[in-house]
Amino acid sequence: SVSQREEGGKTVCYYNVYLEGAYLISHRYNEFHRLHTDLKGKFPYILFPRFPGKWPLKLSQAQIDKRHKELEEWLKQVCCVSQLFEHFYIQDFLGLAGKKREERVDSAPDN
């Protein structure tokens, strides 16, 4: 799902992240993009899935929904690679960093 908030006089989208049906955290598009860039820099030998592009204009609801599905699919594919899923970058992004292994969910997101 997507939540919208007013920040600095404009509406911004937060894409809600779920893992096995449980809500974990919400992030803006630019935070997903930063994660993508950081992971590609850290793991240059891994072929990453296509990352959803940036839209130059204000997004319609249909475009927001499309982007959400694309970000969700990108994250799901990235988390399927155990080396990436276990890395601090992903664990931190998902709000799981610092939790004991038995407290974490150790599989890729369903949503």
18 residue type, one letter: Y
pTM, entire model: 0.83
The residues that bridge with 6 in the sheet, in sequence order, are 11
Q: Tens of pLDDT along the chain (111 residues)?
A: 899 888 888 889 999 998 888 899 999 999 999 999 999 999 999 999 999 998 778 889 999 999 999 999 999 999 999 999 999 999 999 999 876 544 544 444 444
Cα angle 43, 48, 54 (rounded to 5 degrees) comes to 115
Give CA–CA dist 104/97, Å, rounded. Answer: 9
- Within 8 A by CB and 6+ apart from 18, the residues are 24, 109, 110, 111
Helices (H), 1-111: 29-42, 61-79, 82-85, 88-93
